Amino acid sequence: MRALRRGKGITLKQLAKALNKNISRGEAKNTESQIGNWERGERNPNYLEVKKLADYFDVSIDYLVGRYNNDQVDLAKAMITSSKLTYNDTPLDNNDKYEILQLISGYLHARGRRSTGDLININHQESLDLFNNQNDF
């Protein structure tokens, strides 16, 4: 959580203020001290607090509690979900996702058909000697 906060370049006070913007009636306000305790692992936020943090940082609750696998993402699964995907802040609609999957599929199919026998093995250097016979120009 500290890394997310620092990544946004905000202080504990700024985060507390942001989390308190849309609190429900009767809900306790978040404080700098409370958030600091969460970051240090001295206290744990309740479910509603975790949800607010996930919404604020635009991450999943699983990510906040450490249940994520950042080593591998299945692009096909990500593309077929209803998740909103962007590329360089440009939203991708379902047609874009379909076209991108087709391109990737074609690339992987072609890559699988390539073999070392298809490649030209160059084991020497060619010389062009363009400037030795200047009378030819």
CATH number of the domain bearing residue 20: 1.10.260.40
Sign of the Cα torsion 52, 57, 61, 67 reads negative
Residue 8 has pLDDT above 90, yes or no: no
20 within some domain: yes
Range of the domain at 105: 75-115
39 within some domain: yes
Residues in the chain: 137
Give the total number of structural domains in the chain.
Answer: 2
Residues 8 and 42 reside in one and the same domain: yes
pLDDT 10s digits, 96-124: 888 988 999 888 888 877 654 554 455 55
Residues 42 and 81 reside in one and the same domain: no
Predicted pLDDT of residue 98:
87
Whether pTM exceeds 0.85: no
Q: Is 86 helix (H, G, I), strand (E, B) or coil?
A: strand
pLDDT 10s digits, 42-74: 999 999 899 999 999 888 888 888 777 666 777
Q: Are 80 and 97 in contact (CB under 8 A)?
A: yes
